[in-house]
Amino acid sequence: MLKLPPISLYIHIPWCIKKCGYCDFYSYVSTKNIPEMQYIKNLLKDLEKDIKLIHQRKINNIFIGGGTPSLLHNESIKTLIHGIKKRIQISKSSEITIESNPQSTEYKRFRDYKRSGINRFSLGIQTFHSNLLKKIERTYSKQEAIEAIKEIKKINSNFNIDIMYGLPDQSLNNALSDLKYAVKYNPTHISWYQLTIEPNTSFYKKNLCLPDEKIIFKMFNQGEKFLRKSGYIKYEISSYMKSRFKCRHNLNYWNFGDYLGIGCGAHGKITKINGEIIRTIKNKNINDFMNGKYLATKTLIPEKDKPFEYFMNTFRLYQPIYKKNFQERTNLNISNIKNKIKKALRNKYIIENKNSWETTKKGRIFLNSLLKIFLN
């Protein structure tokens, strides 16, 4: 019998006060009252339909993302967490994360969120420089960002800070001082990543003055050295942790685990008992979603695409990729990828051990070239 992978739950809250120019996540801008309870009610109905697909597996971790989930009042979060626990088994050691905006009206809710069951916070700071916050169209001040971190530290030791580099008109000193500010508050996790301009964003249409590649490379090298000296361990392309504090939900993605995705525009991945893997996308139209039309698409991953899908996730990790896991998660034999592995080895993108593969420094730098080997 097939061993099904562990499963997590992703919940999408689609509302934002303002759409940032670089953001390509699915969201609605709303300055009016959000129909929170109506949406929570539909989220739970959406979950009920998906539960039938997962063969009584326990949910290991929950991640509430967006949009801006911290726009929701405590009663909504409390109703949501309680409703999930009534409908499905949650692991006792479950990590329950909420993405949070460091705006004063929102961070005052953190204490109540903690009482509702949230045990990990992820703060989207991006930068501590007021002029750069304006350039990337964030809606809070440097002081609000600092106050939000201080508020979280009072109530919860486990929290992540998101920081970006390669911002418009950002200097090397700006980028490094952002990391110094973040480290000063001793978060258990830092997500530090380069700004990329995606085609379906408003920034794509603008002629932004981004730092040149040499400056960005210096930001990356010097920033990474500083984080290492500050006690942070890099375990994924853009993820740095203190001690054992990996983001469990994201780690499940990168290990090609399963996840239910509920809410407007949410994505899911579910392995069936026969080894087939399906991907789900939920309805992006908020009115349709509120009227019970939850599922937009459900597609089967073709067998020939499974190796690429698997390695697209696992090659992001700075750890061995076990051959046994490849077979269990894809339901394929290693002989299916023998020639592709040989090519990756010849190019010195990976090394092979008896029970595992691991990306080399070259493989991490040229990750796209490595992944192309596994494309059909």
* pLDDT tens by residue, 335-350: 999 999 999 999 999 9
- 133 with 181: CB under 8 angstroms? no
User: How much of the chain exceeds pLDDT 90, in percent?
Assistant: 83
**What is the reported pLDDT for 353?**
96
CATH number of domain containing 320: 1.10.10.920
Q: Is residue 277 part of a domain?
A: no
Same domain? For 76 and 172 the reply is yes
Same domain? For 315 and 222 the reply is no
**What is the reported pLDDT for 18?**
75
Q: Is residue 268 part of a domain?
A: no
Same domain? For 127 and 198 the reply is yes
**What is the reported pLDDT for 139?**
86
Q: Is residue 295 part of a domain?
A: no
Q: Is residue 154 part of a domain?
A: yes
Q: Which two tokens stand for residue 310?
A: 């698997």
**What is the reported pLDDT for 97?**
98
Q: Is the pLDDT of residue 200 over 70?
A: yes
What rounded mean pLDDT belongs to the chain?
A: 93
The boundaries of the domain holding residue 217 are: 7-252
CA atoms within 13 A on the CB side of 274: 4
* pLDDT tens by residue, 44-96: 999 999 999 998 999 999 999 998 999 999 999 999 999 999 999 999 999 99
Q: Is the pLDDT of residue 310 over 70?
A: yes
Same domain? For 241 and 318 the reply is no
232, 252, 272 - which closes a domain? 252
Same domain? For 307 and 236 the reply is no
Same domain? For 121 and 191 the reply is yes
Same domain? For 187 and 107 the reply is yes
Q: Is residue 296 part of a domain?
A: no
Positive or negative: CA dihedral 312, 342, 372, 303: negative
Q: Is 177 helix (H, G, I), strand (E, B) or coil?
A: helix
Same domain? For 248 and 310 the reply is no
CATH number of domain containing 195: 3.20.20.70
Q: Is residue 286 part of a domain?
A: no
Same domain? For 93 and 202 the reply is yes
Q: Is residue 310 part of a domain?
A: yes
* pLDDT tens by residue, 238-281: 999 998 999 999 999 999 999 999 999 999 999 999 999 999 99
- 329 with 256: CB under 8 angstroms? yes
**What is the reported pLDDT for 29?**
77
212, 232, 252 - which closes a domain? 252
Angle CA(19)–CA(22)–CA(24) in degrees, nearest 5?
Answer: 75
Cα–Cα distance, 161 to 122 (Å, whole number):
6
**What is the reported pLDDT for 107?**
74
* pLDDT tens by residue, 115-156: 999 999 999 999 999 999 999 888 889 999 999 999 999 999
Angle CA(120)–CA(122)–CA(127) in degrees, nearest 5?
Answer: 150
Count: domains in the chain: 2
**What is the reported pLDDT for 209?**
79
Same domain? For 247 and 308 the reply is no
* pLDDT tens by residue, 98-119: 999 888 667 788 999 999 999 9
Q: Is residue 103 part of a domain?
A: yes
| For residues 201-206, average pLDDT | 76
pTM of the predicted structure, to 2 decimals = 0.94
Same domain? For 234 and 355 the reply is no
Same domain? For 38 and 187 the reply is yes
